[in-house]
């Protein structure tokens, strides 16, 4: 298909979409942009403030690879202005218009079907998705480097899933010297994980809570509770609340009524329900003493326990923690 003079509208995006806009201009398309600041490299494109006006007469509308939120709004735009309401835009598209976007949220699928708009999810196209897994993996590693007080090298990393992003992330972590464990449901993936030299973690069907919870019983995890900032630019905080944590752990149990309710949901095996009925925390906890000065990004409390027990404790701690300072937890999954 010749693209010269074909009207194409791009709605928001990041530097990936900027590169796409430059390429489309090389093909001499009639390019309309919303969410892009004036730049010399895209000066030949038409810039619009109104997204509805920009899509009038367009044959193709391109949303960002980063998608919309659940309400159909595009927040990712290089000019940092207000989000684009893609739901409203779709109402004004001619029938049979093609809408290309990373992954279409349910509200976008519904609106496109209602107005006879053709959706192409670019994140499902291998040619695009495999290459897009590179910045995705690098972004995940960047966050880990920024947030963790350890090096990637020699760390124990768990990659859940061995799809396009999982493959790229596992390879990148391994190249940095990490000890990589990869979890997958598929036998073929497990074979490839072994072949690549990673530690395999076979998981049952993740859609089955029975198998997922059962798997959680057998893997030891660690997590740290820490905070990022001190309110009002303070230098430190004072540790408090340890008594509440201890009381929760000592009294954590499932009543007969709890077990009967879970049984009625028909999601859990009898073995797992029996485990919950006799539940008792079996892990270890290390914490700084009550009243101790503590500093941002340093562990206040560390839990070592089977994954399911650790998750119970983590959930309680995050609910117990006040919204300020901003509390977080981080996990490490060493495999026995």
* Inter-CA distances, 229 with 233, 297, 315, 323, 331, Å: 8, 8, 20, 11, 20
Same domain, 145 and 83: no
Domain limit, last residue, from 93, 124, 155: 124
Q: Give the mean pLDDT of 200-222.
A: 62
Question: At a CB cut-off of 8 Å and minimum separation 6, what does 152 contact?
Answer: 141, 144, 145, 173, 176, 177, 178
Q: Which residue has the higher pLDDT, 153 or 231?
A: 153
Q: What percent of the chain is modeled with pLDDT above 70?
A: 90
Same domain, 335 and 212: yes
Same domain, 88 and 104: yes
Number of domains in the chain: 3
Same domain, 312 and 228: yes
**Does residue 2 form part of some domain?**
no
> How do 46-48 and 60-62 pair as beta strands?
unpaired
Q: For residue 193, give its domain range.
A: 129-203
Same domain, 110 and 197: no
Taking alpha carbons only, the member of 121, 90, 87, 122 closest to residue 107 is 87
Per-residue model confidence (pLDDT) at position 35: 95
Q: Give the mean pLDDT of 80-108.
A: 93
Q: Round to the nearest angstrom and report the end-to-end CA distance of the chain.
A: 55
Domain limit, last residue, from 178, 203, 228: 203
Among 69-78, 101-110, 169-178, 270-279, the range with the most confident prediction by mean pLDDT is 169-178
For the segment 236-262, what is each residue's pLDDT rounded down to a tens digit?
A: 888 888 888 888 888 889 999 999 998
Per-residue model confidence (pLDDT) at position 275: 86
Domain CATH code at residue 77: 3.40.50.720
Q: Which of 93-124 are b and which e, b meaning 16 or more Cβ less than 10 Å from the residue's Cβ?
A: beeebebbbbbbbebbeebbeeeebebebbbe
Per-residue model confidence (pLDDT) at position 215: 56
Domain limit, last residue, from 104, 124, 144: 124
Contact 51, 11 (CB under 8 A): yes
Strand order in the sheet with 98-101: 46-48, 30-34, 7-11, 60-62, 98-101, 118-121
Read off the DSSP letter of residue 207.
T
Among 107-111, 146-150, 249-253, the range with the most confident prediction by mean pLDDT is 107-111
Same domain, 219 and 325: yes
Same domain, 133 and 92: no
**Does residue 1 form part of some domain?**
no
Residues linked to residue 199 through DSSP beta bridges, in sequence order = 181
Residue whose structure tokens are 């919950």: 276
Pairwise CA distance, residues 136 & 258, whole Å = 41
């Amino acid at each position: 298909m010749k693209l010269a003079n074909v009207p194409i509208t791009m709605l928001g995006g990041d530097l990936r979409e900027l590169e796409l806009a430059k390429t489309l201009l090389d093909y001499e398309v009639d390019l309309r942009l919303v969410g892009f600041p004036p730049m010399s490299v895209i000066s030949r494109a038409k810039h619009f403030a109104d997204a509805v006006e920009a899509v009038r007469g367009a044959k193709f509308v391109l949303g960002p690879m980063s998608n919309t939120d659940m309400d159909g709004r595009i927040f990712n735009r290089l000019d940092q202005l207000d989000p684009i309401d893609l739901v409203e835009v779709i109402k004004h598209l001619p029938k049979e218009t093609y809408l290309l976007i990373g992954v279409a949220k349910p509200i976008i699928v519904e609106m496109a079907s209602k107005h006879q708009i053709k959706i192409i999810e670019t994140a499902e196209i291998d040619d695009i998705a495999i290459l897009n897994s590179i910045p995705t993996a690098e972004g995940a590693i960047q966050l880990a480097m920024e947030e963790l007080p350890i090096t990637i090298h020699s760390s124990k990393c768990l990659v859940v899933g061995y799809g396009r992003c999982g493959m790229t992330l596992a390879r990148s972590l391994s190249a940095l010297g990490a000890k990589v464990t990869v979890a997958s449901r598929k036998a073929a993936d497990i074979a490839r994980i072994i072949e690549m030299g990673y530690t395999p973690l076979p998981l049952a069907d993740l859609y089955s809570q029975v198998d997922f919870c059962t798997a959680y019983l057998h893997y030891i995890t660690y997590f740290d509770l820490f905070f990022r900032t001190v309110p009002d630019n303070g230098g430190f905080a004072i540790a408090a609340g340890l008594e509440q944590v201890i009381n929760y752990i000592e009294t954590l149990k499932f009543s007969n009524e709890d077990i009967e309710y879970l049984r009625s949901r028909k999601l859990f095996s009898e073995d797992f329900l029996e485990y919950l009925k006799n539940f008792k925390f079996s892990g270890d906890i290390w914490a700084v003493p009550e009243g101790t000065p503590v500093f941002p990004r340093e562990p206040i409390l560390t839990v070592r326990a089977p994954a399911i027990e650790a998750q119970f404790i983590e959930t309680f701690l995050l609910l117990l923690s006040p919204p300020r300072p901003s509390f977080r937890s981080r996990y490490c999954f060493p495999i026995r």
